[in-house]
Structure 1
């Protein structure tokens, strides 16, 4: 009897353990799945698959073994599992790979059951992407070698997936800033993670030649290095003497590039080299001056160069001999289908006068220098085609007539791509508006220096390579799209990461996922998990999308300011406080425009789980005695920078580092002189003049600010003055000139801000003012 009772107890304990285990088993929903880019089809089924030390990878192909090795190593580091690869299929707890020749090249199917995982594909590309999807089903701890306590369980499901576009790329400009082999390989790994398949290496530009060419050693001895002026704004750097030795730069040897290419090939990444011509080649002409029209010696430029007049001579046969020799060596390194030749921004003033070029125009019966560029491109294309390769160029290669089989990369909007597709040419869309990752992605005051334009994460997600109005035939010529990271303002690898991520995640979904499946709100939710992966991988990604931004309107009649707050994320939980209150869980939820009638401080942030996320937005609103008063300018402000109207500089609203934000008035070459009529006698003791400097854009702080006061508007007395000597500045900066003086009474205030008048590099000078505050 006791033995029977004991059996019941044991049986009960077993049942309890069984049901406890079942109750603890995670029930997955689609909200738990945060794959980027979003798969074409996903169906959840019952159960889970659990990884353990007993899990096996069933692999019979050496290529697939290399593909699987990355994930196996991650398990070993993050979970401590010693996952084996076997050739014989076990009964359960395994991952297997099946080939199916009916699949498209990059397509895959991932089937997860409680017993096993099967990835089916035609080629290694599909297996790579299947494994990348499997990686994103796992806890984010898989990316972190110090984490060993995660629950290594994924849901049972079926995913059928393939890319929408065949070209999904990133251009890395290694000319303006040199990136070494290690960083390029790291970038390749991250492209694979996002199911991108093209790395476009911009190897040649005015400011640096980065590829070893054995036949022409001076290209790297001279062309790979420029005089170090990195402390000066990019577009304010001086022209150097060709006799001054360059020390800033570097280059990749052919062996290093071959290693990069092989590394990329194993991960289904095509590396496309760009060898610029006929313009953006000052680095080559600095090495071999005879390549230009007049053979004049020049230095490798240290910074911005415009117009680009030192270009290859299209009339000399020796130019084409040089280029063919260079291309021969390039093509032995890069097995890619394409060779990119640039072809953009060539200022042809030298061609118009050069006897060699004019002779070529006459002999070839060309109309003008535009047709000469077309001749140049077509001749190079013919040579590239003879080697079994295809030519890509920026959309300027359309000018003068497009080479017969060329592919156009459309960057000046999508017009060039539209026209090329209409002519029957393949196109890759990469418009500045959505794909230039060298643009700011958040409020300029909070961001590192970048090109003065704005492409936030949400705008990248709106990109579609097939543009409105295209016929089906045109759309079939659209190969895809890519991001471009020009590196004029990049100084470190961390800067590069910051500009690429998370915008690359948004772009990857626009190029991989179906158009109908894309949804910004759903993507935003999945992005939170992607951020965790970035954190664990040590990627210096931008958190700009978290930042709260504001727009303000001054109601001069009612003497108040209306402030609107927003964030990139839909239905954002923005909270704010005024004055000295603490921004915490008790902060007021933002629902509508905030009305401000007195001096205060506004603090706001996106909130999650009762806490602010990211950097706190802070705005000091200071009402002053000149608010909304009448103004009279000696010299009118420039028509291109009028602020929000005549009263802009006394509307209490301050400008940002983005001088296009509509809160700045500006004078080109002229001083700012303005009289403020306070309407009645006021007691005064300080005037503050808000200014900005952006030397790269030709904007300079005033050299001095003078304040004069008057009782009658006719007779003025100087109340105070402050001076600021010019100094080199590579950043965009805001500065308030404060002029304090002995307390006085006056009705009229005259403020004079003196323009620098002449820039160090000889250019014109802008003076910008956002507010004159009177206390």
Structure 2
């Protein structure tokens, strides 16, 4: 009897410990996007193997099965769904028509969770919120032992600020398959986003099966493989060249994607470009163009875009209407996106069919011809009970009556369209172009250019301050655009999407007065953990150290400022051979160095470095701060910091517009550096860049000459490097070793490639000449 009493006592003690639940505070609630209203109450609800989902017949099951499947994976529970209300330990779903279409109410108590919503999307968003209240391990793809799956007792009332919360995925420039598109849909649902805009057609690939025109995918879906070259350095192709790189989605695959998206409350908007960005279609059916010349599917960048649909031929419109009929049979979306951007109309100016159309329709010019084109397509789309949406170029020449504008060239198009009473989706490249770099270029994978860090995405607001209330009411919302010229893999695509999608989701969901970068910075760490469990290759660029370096040439000193995107970030550093893991110094003020120094730095969290370690070597060589004479002057477009650029210790980055580079167009380079007195030298190093897209090439030869009087020079060393294809941006130090000797004047001659393999001129970029 005594033994039994002891056992009961132990069980009671253990039971008491189990009931000592964690007390939650506001800082523990890390939901993204931030809900409208949160109230935390004492206590917790704990999921276990007996938890049930209480659902009546008029409520969709799909949202429930997302969470149900999670628990099956991580805990091995097969949680039951019932139409009979349990007494306790359940999640109840109730239809409440007083809620707005995408809004929901969530109330968590010790023994139950109650969800109220008026639509499937509202229930889905409530489930996503429960996901984020649970430990991040809920996203694990393997079973986890001895875990407690609890959430705080909480009341949430929530709903989106904007009804259009989207992402555009370009699968034309580089093809992405059905499975990856489904993964993107999952990511959108996770962030309470509701639109996937699929860019299915562009010059470099036609990605949607059209049964009436099979050559669109047989020919237009494939291009000559030039992936070894930079996108904008790829060579022209001929019509007879066989394409092997590409792919397309069948109509059955697209219908499957649409159905999957519907189950996740995501609407797919198809984009079928017109009248430009259609070389892939013209390669398949040359009669669609003005000239009717056979062309090949371009392998890379095309500019200007002159191979466009002929607006004068009736056969063009017959073709497009046939295509759109099949598109609309696949996509039940309210909107059909027709592109409408970047059409160079030089062929229209010379085309007898187009000029006849202009005359017959009483149009003033080619801009009004494009307007005619768009208005005609809108009338056809409207006749099928759909709405036309296009990029802001559709404003040119007069906007179609019921068209919706997607404003990408800043906010100007959005302001103009809303002033005319048209609906607008704001997607300015300043805040929404996810193909831009998100961290220092030296640390990032190749991108198209630009700079859009996480914090700037978070600043995005679809409504412009100057809009009237009536104009603001025409703003449907916002979306990000991920153009894929420089994104060949799904891993790279994920890197560009996440975590910027999280910042955008809050920008288009949460109330403007709720946005707080420091608060978001605290919550985003939880989302990072979820990405880890989901196997998402997200960018940690916001952690990266962004240095600012200044040189004082008079004092021969360098001042180094360290920062990243986070306010009051815990940045620590070490110098030279010291290790960050040992005794790092907390960064408080600029680091000043006067001799060659290695600097290593990182953001720290919980006393551990996180993200990629910043490392830079500031080299004080014999040429620093000495006089440089330019025998061949540099271009006035890239002047660096002036005549001291090549001897100021500051190195350029992969961003050729960072102000640290001097450049020569077509010309060779020749400079003379005066060391002021004789000194021994045994090596000259030339820092250069190659970025073949915009025509920047490594030197093909470097020669070094030395002298004592500045007049007579002797050649003491050289290196040669033949041209090689290079699809990346690369920084390289060319080392010219010379026999050790004494000299005062150093002459450096650098040979420019001069002949661009694609045609045109070549640039030579140099940032520093180091003399050792």
| TM-score, normalised via structure 2 length | 0.98
Pair 1:294-2:291 in alignment:
yes
- Within 5 Å, give how 1:164-203 maps onto structure 2: 164-203=161-200
- Tell me the SS of whatever aligns to 1:696: coil
Q: Does structure 2 conserve the Cα–Cα contact (< 8 Å) formed by 1:643 and 1:665?
A: yes
Counterpart in 2 of 1:338?
335
Listed as ranges, the matches of 1:230-269 within 5 Å are 230-269=227-266
Count of residue pairs the alignment pairs up = 771
User: For each residue in 1:271-316, what CA deviation from the matched residue of structure 2 results, as whole angstroms up to 9, or x when unmatched?
Assistant: 0000000000000000000000010000000001111100000111
Cα shift readout 1:478-510 (whole Å, capped 9, x = no counterpart): 111101111111111111111111110111010
Name the counterpart of 2:716: 719
2:280 maps to 283
Q: Does 1:28 align with 2:24?
A: yes
Give the Cα separation in 1 of the matches to 2:215 and 2:78: 51
Gaps of 5+ in 1: none
Please tell me whether the aligned partners of residues 76 and 143 of structure 2 are also in contact (alpha carbons under 8 angstroms): no
Tell me the C-alpha RMSD between the 2 structures. 1.5
Is this contact kept in 1: 2:206–2:220, CA < 8 A? yes
For 2:650, which of 643, 649, 653 is the aligned residue? 653
Alignment CA distance shift 1:9-1:317 (3 Å): closer
Distance in 2 (alpha carbons) for counterparts of 1:62 and 1:531: 36
Equivalent in the alignment of 2:457: 460
- Residue 363 of structure 1 pairs with residue 360 of structure 2: yes
Does 2:533 match 1:540?
no
Structure 2 counterpart of 1:86, from 82, 89, 95: 82
User: Deviation per CA, 1:443-483, whole angstroms, max 9, x where unpaired?
Assistant: 21111111121111111111111112111111111111101
Query: Which residue does 2:447 correspond to in 1?
Result: 450
**Corresponding residue for residue 305 of structure 1:** 302
Q: 1:138 aligns with which of 125, 134, 143?
A: 134
Indicate yes or no: 2:377 matched with 1:380: yes
1:1-16 paired onto structure 2 within 5 Å: 16=13
1:635 deviates by 2.8
Shift of 1:20: 3.5
Contact preservation (8 Å) 1:80, 1:148: no
- Structure 2 counterpart SS, 1:481: strand
* In the alignment, structure 1 residue 113 sits paired with structure 2 residue 120: no
Displacement of 1:6 in angstroms is 11
Which whole-Å CA distance do the structure 2 matches of 1:722 and 1:13 have between them? 81
Secondary structure of residue in 1 paired with 2:60: helix
After the TM superposition, which of the residue ranges 171-180 and 703-712 deviates more from structure 2? Answer: 703-712
Asked if 2 retains the 8 angstrom alpha-carbon contact of 1:139 and 1:150, the reply is: no
Rounded to whole Å, the distance in 2 between the matches of 1:487 and 1:69 is 33
Which of 403, 422, 426 is the aligned partner of 1:425?
A: 422
Secondary structure of the 1:542 match is: coil
Structure 1: distance between partners of 2:17 and 2:384: 67
What is residue 551 of structure 1 aligned with on the other side?
A: 548
User: In the alignment, does 2:375 pair up with 1:412?
Assistant: no
Cα shift at 1:633: 1.1
Aligned to 1:600, which of 589, 597, 600?
A: 597
Deviation, structure 1 residue 148: 3.0
The secondary structure found in structure 2 opposite 1:359 is helix
Residue 62 of structure 2: aligned partner: 66
Aligned mates of 2:166, 2:254 — CA distance in 1: 18
Q: Which residue of 2 aligns with 1:510?
A: 507
Shift of 1:707: 1.1
Q: Distance in 2 between matches of 1:682 and 1:9?
A: 89
Which residue, out of 757, 761, 772, partners 1:764? 761
2-side partners of 1:585 and 1:471: how far apart?
57
1:209-248 matches, within 5 Å, as: 209-248=206-245
**Paired residues of 2:216 and 2:280 also in contact (CA < 8 A):** yes
Give 1:12 shift. 7.0
| Residues 264, 270 of structure 1: 8 Å contact kept | yes
Which digits, 9 at most, give the CA deviation of each residue in 1:155-197, with x for residues without a partner?
0010000001100001000001111111111111111000000
What SS class does the counterpart of residue 683 from structure 1 fall into? strand
Q: Distance in 2 between matches of 1:183 and 1:16?
A: 50
Q: CA deviation at 1:10?
A: 9.2
Of 705-714 and 454-463, the range deviating more from structure 2: 705-714
Match of 1:734 among 731, 736, 759: 731
Say if 2:59 and 2:93, in contact at 8 Å, map to a contact too: no
Q: Deviations over 1:400-424 (max 9, x none)?
A: 1111111111111111111111111
Mapped contact 1:74–1:143 kept (Cα < 8 A): yes
